[in-house]
Amino acid sequence: MGGDNLEEYYRARAAEYEQIYYRDDPACQAELSREAKKLTRLVEGKKVLELACGSGYWTRIMSRTAASILASDIAPEMLAEAKKKAFGCEVSLFKADMFDHSFGDRCFDIVALGFWFSHQPRQAYDQLFDLLVRPLKKNGLIWMIDNNPPAEWPLKTSCKIDSHGNNYKERTLSNGETYVVLKNYFDLLELKAIFSSRFDIQSLRHHTYYWSTVLMQKGGRP
C-alpha cells in the first residue's frame, strides 16, 4: 500500500468519500466535467480494467460508453458504495489488492487508475508501471487522474517527508478520526519526467485542481 494507515483510512472514509466531487466551487466542477467528457470518449466501446475504483465515481462515468468494465478495490466499504450505483454497461466489481492479484495479460484496451498515483511511494513507481502495463492489449492505454493541492480544502501542512521524498499528510474524517497517509503532489514538469521514462505520453493535462494523463507503453507492445 502507499502509506501509513492508507487502507484503514479509505475503509473508514468510504461513506463520505464522494464529498470531494461535489464541493461548491464552479471552477473545480468545470475541471471535473471536462475530464468526464474526455474520458467517456476515450473508453467508448472499450474493455476497461479499473484499479482502486473506490466508490465507483469514475466507474459510472466510464460505463456511459465503455463496452465493459472490470473494477476492483481493496476496501469492501468502498465497493459497497460503488454497488449502489446504476451503470450503463456491464460492470463487474470485486475486492482485490491490485499488487497481489493477477488481472490477466493483454486482456484490456484501457487500464484506469483514479487518485492513486499520489499515494504510490516514489521508490516503487516501476512496480506500479509494471502492474498497469501487464493487462493491456497491444497499443492499449493507461488513464490516470489525481488532484493538486487546491482540490483539498482546507489545506494542511505536511506532517513529514521521508528519505525517498514522499510527503505525508494528516487527514481528518467527519467523526474527528485522524489518519496520516502518503500523499505526493506534482507539477507538470515532474509528471512529464516520471512518465516519459516508461511511456509515450498521449496527453497530460495539469490544471488548478486536477491533473490527468493518457499513456501508452513506449513503442506499443509486440
Where do the structural domains in the chain lie, given as residue ranges?
6-217
Q: How far from 57 is each of 3, 140, 151, CA to CA, in Å?
A: 23, 22, 16
CA separation (Å) from 197 to 94, 126, 145, 213, 215? 32, 10, 19, 14, 11
Q: How far apart are CA 90 and CA 68, in angstroms?
A: 5
Taking 50 as the pLDDT cut, the residues of the chain under it are 1-3, 222
Whole-number Å distance between alpha carbons of 219 and 112: 20
The pLDDT tens digits of the residues spanning 66-112 come to 999 999 999 999 999 999 999 999 999 999 999 999 998 999 999 99
Question: So what's the pLDDT on residue 5?
Answer: 80
In words, the CATH class of domain 6-217 is alpha beta
Q: Are 211 and 194 in contact (CB under 8 A)?
A: no
Q: Residue 23: what pLDDT? A: 84
pLDDT of 96 reads: 96
Query: What is the rounded distance in angstroms from the CA atom of residue 43 to the CA atom of residue 41?
Result: 6
Give the pLDDT score at 222. 44
